[in-house]
Amino acid sequence: MRHLIADPVVHREHWRDDDDDRPRLECGVCGVWGAEPHAASSIVALGLHALQHRGQEACGIASVHEARFHTERHMGLVGEAFGGADLSQRMPGSAAIGHTRYSTAGGSFLRNIQPMFADLDQGGIAIAHNGNLTNFLYLRNQLVGEGAIFQSTSDSEVILHLIARSRKAKIVDRFIDAVGRIEGGYALVCQTRSKMIGARDPLGIRPLVLGRLGEAWVLASETCALDTIGATLERDVEHGEVVVIDKDGLQSLKPFPTRAARPCLFEYVYFSRPDSVVNGKSVYEVRKRMGRHLAREHAVEADVVVPVPDSGVPAALGYAQESGIPYEMGIIRSHYLGRTFIQPSQGARQKGVRMKHSPNRSVIEGRRVVLIDDSIVRGTTSVKLVRAVRAAGAAEVHLRSASPPILWPDFYGIDMPERDQLIAANKTLEEMRTQLEVDSLGFLSVDGLYEAMEAGPRDPRNPQFTDHYFTGEYPTRLLDREIEEGGREVAARQLSLLVSA
C-alpha cells in the first residue's frame, strides 16, 4: 500500500508574504544549441535576464563542452549570479540551458534550483522545467517505493528519475517515455551530451517558443528572450510536441494523442511581458483590448484613469481610449527596492510595500480616479493602494480589474492561494467593495476576456483556453489533489467514528 508523502516541505508552497498579493509563476526556461564556441552560457544568461519577471528567487545554467557538463545554480537574480565577464570560461560550450525560478512545488533551497542534472548510463543530462505536475506526489511515491533516492523536493526531479528508469534504448525515446507519464502544465528544455530536447504539455498550458540565432537554435518561455539575445522567432512549440535539436538539425515529433490546445489565460492577464508574443498573440494588444472591454462593461463618470504599474498599464490605456477619460500615471512604481517578501522582518516588508508604489498627488488630488489593476487575488495589496490614493487627495476611487474574479486555485505552475483566501470566492461584489474601501468595483467578465483574446464568447462545451481560476473547470485531472482530499475524507471519517465511540 502506497501512502502520500507526509513531509510538508514537499507539498505546494502557498503565499509567502501577507503584504504581497500578486500571483507568482514558477519559472522561465531558455536553451541554446549550436552557438559560437563557448558563447552558449552567455547567451542563455541574457535570455534568462529577459525572463527574470517569471521568477526572481533563484537561477541556474548548465552548459556542455566536449561531452562534459558545467553547472552553476544560485539563489538570487540572474545579473547577480551570471553577470561576470568570465562566464564563458567558467561555463564553456556551444550548447546550454538555463532556468529562473520562483518555487511552487518544493521549497526555497539550493537543492531545488534548476537546471537539474544527473549522470545516466548514456551520459549526463540536464533539465529545466516551467510549470507544475499534477501527479508529482503520486509518481514520487511510486519511485521511492521502487528504491529511488531523491536529492530535492522539486517535482522536476521526478522527470529525471523517469528518464533514468525507462527501458527504451535511445535517450529521446526515454525522454518521451518519461513525459508520457507526467500530467499537468509544463514546458521542458533538456540538454544531453549531443542533443537539446524541448517539449510542451498536450494542452499547451505553459508557453514555449523556438527561435534562430544565426545557425544556432533557441528555446525559450517567451519571445522577449529571443528579442533580447537578437534571435528571430521561428514558431511556437506546439502543444504535445517534442522537438529534438542536434548536429543534423531539428526534428519534430508528435508522440502523444492529439488534443485541442488550451493555453493559460493568465499568461496574457499578468505573467508574460507585454512585449512578448504568446501563441501568436501580442500580449500588449490583448491587454489593451481587455481594458476596452472593461470600459464597456463597467463605465463610470470619472476624471482620470490610473494604472497600477506595471502590469495594469496596457489595460488602463485601453480603458482610457474606450471611455475617453484621460490617462495619467497617478501611481509611480520604484524599480529599485527588490522583492518585499525577502525582507528580514515584517516591519521592513510593510515599509517595502509602501515604498514600492507612490501616489502622484498632482494627478490624483481632487479628482475622481478609475484605478485599473490586472487582477485582484486576496485584496490585501488593493486596499493598501486605495488608501494611498485617497491619502493623496482623490475625491473618489473606482477600482476595476482587467481580469474576471479569481474563484479557484491553480495547480499548473501558478502560486495562487487556496479558495478560502480568494476574496472573490468568499464575498459578494458589495462586500468586496466595502472591504476594498472603494466607491465602485468592477471585474471584466469571462466572455469579455475571451473577446479580448479574439476568441469569444466562451463555449462551455469547448473552452479554448485554460481558465479554471475563473470558472472552476480544470483542463486535466488533479491526481495529487484527489489523493490528498481522499486522505482528508478518510481521516475525517475516522475522527467521527472515534468521537461517536
Enzyme catalytic residues: 27
Closest among 481, 333, 331, 488 to 418, alpha carbons compared: 481
Which DSSP string do the residues of 456-473 spell out, in sequence order? -S--TTS-SSB-HHHH--
> Is 83 within 8 Å of 57 (Cβ atoms)?
no
* Residue 133, strand partner residues: 184
Identify the three-state secondary structure at position 99: strand
DSSP label at residue 47:
H
Which DSSP string do the residues of 159-196 spell out, in sequence order? HHHHHHH---SSHHHHHHHHHTT--EEEEEEEEESS-E
Closest among 463, 471, 450, 458 to 290, alpha carbons compared: 450
Nine-digit cell string for 162: 523517469
Using the Cα atoms of residue 485, residue 490, residue 493 and residue 494 in order, give the sign of their dihedral: negative
Closest among 453, 158, 103 to 149, alpha carbons compared: 158
Using the Cα atoms of residue 294, residue 295, residue 300 and residue 304 in order, give the sign of their dihedral: positive
State the maximum Cα–Cα separation within the chain, in Å, rounded to a whole number: 75
Query: What are the two backbone dihedrals, phi and then psi, of residue 105, each rounded to the nearest 5 degrees?
Result: -115, 120
User: Between vectors from CA 281 to CA 280 and to CA 287, what angle results, nearest 5°?
Assistant: 165
Instruction: Name every residue whose Cβ is closer than 8 Å to that of residue 191 and which is 6 or more positions away in sequence.
Output: 31, 33, 62, 64, 69, 95, 96, 97, 115, 125, 126, 127, 197
Q: How many CA atoms lie within 13 A of 240 on its CB side?
A: 11
Q: Among the residues of 405-478, which ranges form H helices?
A: 423-426, 429-436, 446-452, 468-471
Identify the three-state secondary structure at position 43: helix
Nine-digit cell string for 120: 545516466
Query: What are the two backbone dihedrals, phi and then psi, of residue 53, each rounded to the nearest 5 degrees?
Result: -65, -20
Distance CA 97, CA 173 (A): 20
Query: Using N-to-C axis directions, what is the helix angle for 479-500 and 136-145, rounded to 10°?
Result: 80
